Amino acid sequence: MPYQAFDSLAAVAFAKQRGLIAADADVSCREIGDGNLNLVFHLQTADSSFIVKQALPYARCVGESWPLSLERARIEAEVLKAHGKVAPEWVVKVLDFDLEQYAMVEEDLSHLELLRKRLINAEKVDNMGQNLADYLADSLYAYSDFELDPKQKKALVSQFINPDLCLITEDLFFTDPYREHERNDIFPASRQSAEALWQDDELLARVAELKVHFLSCPQSLLHGDVHSGSVFSGPGELKVIDAEFGFFGPIGFDVGSVIGNLLLAWCRHHTLGNEAYAAWLVEQCLVFWQRFESRFSALLKGSKDVALVNARYQRRFVAKVLQDTLGYAGTELIRRTLGLAHVADITSLDDELRAKAEQQALSLGKALVLASDEATSIGLLSELLKKAPVS
Ligand code: SR1
Ligand code: MG
């Protein structure tokens, strides 16, 4: 059957036709998608439930004027399966994928909550930093040159070429927020600071470096969008979803996306004066990096490529990942403040607090981008945070 964007009835018919539900079963189905790109249906029968996620041929948040390749659905299913193979505890299970309808069936995680919501509510999520670090260390090591056979790596790089979604990141992270652009969404109180950033040549130069590194450094198979809205968590469980931005890119991009999003939550809570919770978020950033660094470094020691089993080289590699991480975390703070896609951590504040939180995000983002290429330890982050204005 040719591709057709589902409504609830079509999503149920699809699940029955794929044999996930008995043809005569009673099914309730709701469209629950609140993301930027896709349709998401929750299907429930008397004894099972799951999610059907279907790509639309355009970006849902903008409409048909922003066409997008349906191929991203295949990429998403394959990244989740690839990461699930090496880090099964942390990745949503893909139960089925159909290349005609560009629709994927996933396990239902509605017993969990989105991490962003929990961070907004100032919950101290158990083992958050450690779990995210384990997910990224295991999956990013497994698809790196340290582990993969060189021919297999090249085949995988080609399997995960993802031009449309990479272009979104290239534009929304590294281009639009640094100039006047119709896709930007600038809160009036932040306009003056935005215009000052646009004049900062040193900042623009470092952002250009980070962009080129994103464009041309296929170090490993990234998730590509590990923000706190791509993570579900609950007691003793954490699951990563939404890998449609996956491709082979620089490891620090995924690691930096996690830190950037914890820092967006920090901007919220620091502005609200929730200092104990803000301090917990900083501690989680440090725990996250330290755990990632030690687990990833331990894995590097078992590298299958003997030329890369050199302790001095491996230390340099990890040191560069840290610099990239801090730089990309900084670009996440800036693009979530000036660009197209904002986050509820900041936008749900009232106007006066939002203006203050955005100032925090912009000045911390700028400081991270500028200092990142000389960072030698994660301690730099704590230093920069100490300089943040008191709310
Ligand atoms: C048009 S897509 C906007 C943002 O949503 C996704 O989750 C990515 O973060 C992307 O940059
Ligand atoms: Mg997403």
CATH code for position 28: 3.30.200.20
| Among candidate residues 391, 366, 323, the one with its CA nearest the CA of residue 201 | 366
Are both 313 and 359 inside the same structural domain? Answer: yes
From 79, 107, 135, give the residue that closes a domain.
107
Are both 240 and 329 inside the same structural domain? Answer: yes
pLDDT tens-place string over residues 128-185: 999 999 999 999 999 999 999 999 999 999 999 999 999 999 999 999 999 999 999 9
Are both 12 and 150 inside the same structural domain? Answer: no
Residue 387 pLDDT class (50, 70, 90 cuts): confident
Are both 32 and 68 inside the same structural domain? Answer: yes
pLDDT tens-place string over residues 317-375: 999 999 999 999 999 999 999 999 999 999 999 999 999 999 999 999 999 999 999 99
CA dist., res. 28 & res. 10, Å (int): 12
The maximal CA–CA distance of the chain, rounded, in angstroms, is 64
From 83, 107, 131, give the residue that closes a domain.
107
Q: How far is the CA of 90 from the centre of ligand 2 (A)?
A: 16
Please count the other Cβ atoms lying within 10 Å of the Cβ belonging to residue 373: 14
pTM over 0.90, yes/no: yes
Residue 391 lies in a domain: no
More confident residue, 189 or 391: 189
Residue 120 lies in a domain: yes
- Test site for ligand 1: of 75, 165, 172, 184, most ligand atoms within 8 A of the Cβ: 172
Are both 158 and 71 inside the same structural domain? Answer: no
Range of the domain at 75: 8-107
CATH number of the domain within which 196 lies: 3.90.1200.10
Residue 301 lies in a domain: yes
CA dist., res. 133 & res. 141, Å (int): 12
Structural Rg of the chain based on CA atoms: 21
CA dist., res. 373 & res. 324, Å (int): 7
Q: Residues enclosing ligand 1, CB less than 6 A? A: 36-37, 59, 61, 168-169, 172, 225, 227, 340-341
Distances (CA, A) of 134 to 88, 218, 318: 11, 21, 15
Ligand in nearest proximity to the CA of 61:
1
The pLDDT score that the predictor gives to residue 190 is: 98
Are both 55 and 133 inside the same structural domain? Answer: no
| Among candidate residues 125, 141, 89, the one with its CA nearest the CA of residue 295 | 141
CA dist., res. 173 & res. 240, Å (int): 21
Going by alpha carbons, the residue nearest to atom 4 of ligand 1 is 341
ipTM over 0.90: yes
Count of structural domains within the chain:
2
Are both 90 and 192 inside the same structural domain? Answer: no
Residue 3 lies in a domain: no
Q: In this structure, which residues have their CB less than 5 angstroms from ion ligand 2?
A: 35, 242
Are both 118 and 102 inside the same structural domain? Answer: no
Are both 77 and 158 inside the same structural domain? Answer: no
Residue 1 lies in a domain: no
Instruction: Write down the residue that tokens 């646009």 correspond to.
Output: 198
Residue 106 pLDDT class (50, 70, 90 cuts): very high
Both tokens of 318, joined, read 């990890």
Are both 270 and 182 inside the same structural domain? Answer: yes
Mean pLDDT of 91-107: 97
Q: How far is the CA of 299 from the centre of ligand 1 (A)?
A: 31
Are both 295 and 256 inside the same structural domain? Answer: yes
From 74, 107, 140, give the residue that closes a domain.
107
Are both 98 and 130 inside the same structural domain? Answer: no
The pLDDT score that the predictor gives to residue 388 is: 79
Q: How far is the CA of 151 from the centre of ligand 1 (A)?
A: 32
